[in-house]
Amino acid sequence: MARRHRMVKASPAAVWAVLADGRRYADWVVGTASSRPLSGQWPEVGAALEYEVQLGPVHLTNETIVRHCEEGSLLELEAKAGPLGTARISLQLRPWGEHCLVMVDEHPLHGAAGALHNFGVEAVIQLRHRAMLARLASVCEDEQAHPKSAADAARYSGGGESHA
pLDDT in tens, 11-57: 999 999 999 999 899 999 988 888 899 999 999 999 999 988 877 88
Q: Is residue 145 part of a domain?
A: yes
CA 155 to CA 164: how far, in whole Å?
17
Domain with residue 39: its CATH number is 3.30.530.20
Q: Is residue 106 part of a domain?
A: yes
Q: Is residue 159 part of a domain?
A: no
Q: Is residue 128 part of a domain?
A: yes
Contact residues for 115 (Cβ-Cβ < 8 A; gap 6+):
none
pLDDT (tens, 9 = 90+) of the chain, 164 residues, equals 578 899 999 999 999 999 999 989 999 998 888 889 999 999 999 999 998 887 788 888 899 999 999 999 999 999 988 777 888 999 999 999 999 999 999 888 887 666 666 666 666 777 787 989 999 999 999 987 777 655 455 543 444 444 44
* H-run or E-run covering 122: helix 119-145
The residues with which 63 forms a beta bridge, in sequence order, are: 50, 80
Peptide bond into 43 cis (omega under 30): yes
CA 50 to CA 6: how far, in whole Å?
26
Q: Is residue 61 part of a domain?
A: yes
- Least Cα distance to 140 among 3, 21, 11, 5 occurs for 11
Under the phi-then-psi rule, with left for phi > 0, alpha for psi from -120 to 50, and beta for the rest, what region is 97?
left
CA 52 to CA 34: how far, in whole Å?
5
Domain count, the chain: 1
The residues with which 96 forms a beta bridge, in sequence order, are: 99
Structural contact between residues 99 and 7, judged by C-beta atoms closer than 8 angstroms: yes
Q: Is residue 6 part of a domain?
A: yes
Pairing of the two strands 58-70 and 74-80: antiparallel
